Structure 1
């Protein structure tokens, strides 16, 4: 099996949303299509997908951004049928390299506390738990 990564294209939308749903990344209060539309307006080159060359299926994604201070990664996903093959690690290395090229000094991400599998994965990539509290305030209702 060969998997290649590339920039997200609008035609990937439904496959990526299905991937996020299969991976449990979507939430009722976040419209994934609206998230994609917003991302395509800001640093779209930092939205990457992994495609299985043999089937053409979208089997991975990551959405990253750089705010001038820190880089952030969101929606890292690997299709359940393709886990354990290094796809997520490859996607993270790719966006980390792109962030570094932009001059980004640090990459950060958020993981739900109960997602032990993801926390273990990021530990293997040398991400550390930061002693901070994430606060949020909704500005736009989807």
Structure 2
């Protein structure tokens, strides 16, 4: 799950995020366009670190955080969220390395299947995941906000 991973461009260190990494990780998510007004990224970060069935993995090149992925197990399936690679580091293997680390984390917990959600108009990201062997599933995602302020 963690350790040094060789990418197309360099060697990066992947490790579990710590609370102090929050501002840098959230800034990365923002730079990658992953934050939405209805999701509190700070709360998402804190909850992932505080819940034993989830984590956030980060990649560092030297001291800079250049990639991250949130992953967790809901008791039925493994999920991936917030896969982010710094815009100036894309197409160098960092995304593949982060997905491999997330899959390894999930496999280590006996998770039988990985799932993730991508906005249906995000063709570039859909292509990235297809190249990794992920397939579109025949499901519709439904949702409702549970907070009164949404």
Shorter chain as normaliser: what TM range?
A: over 0.9
Q: Show the 5 A alignment for 1:53-92.
A: 53=62, 56-92=63-99
More strand by share: 2
Structure 2: 5+ residue stretches without partners:
1-9
C-alpha displacement at 1:43, in angstroms? Answer: 2.9
C-alpha displacement at 1:98, in angstroms? Answer: 1.5
Task: Calculate the TM-score normalised by the size of structure 2.
Answer: 0.88
Structure 1: 5+ residue stretches without partners:
none
Q: Show the 5 A alignment for 1:51-130.
A: 51-53=60-62, 56-130=63-137
SS of residue paired to 1:98: helix
Q: In 2 relative to 1, CA 15–116 (structure 1 residues): closer, same or farther, beyond 3 Å?
A: same
Alignment coverage as a number of residue pairs = 140
SS of residue paired to 2:143: coil
Structure 1 runs of 4+ with >6 Å offset = none
Task: Calculate the TM-score normalised by the size of structure 1.
Answer: 0.92
1:31-68 C-alpha deviation (Å, 9 max, x unpaired): 11011111122137631001112xx1111000000112
1:74-101 C-alpha deviation (Å, 9 max, x unpaired): 0000001101111111111111111112
Distance 2:36 2:55 in 1: 22
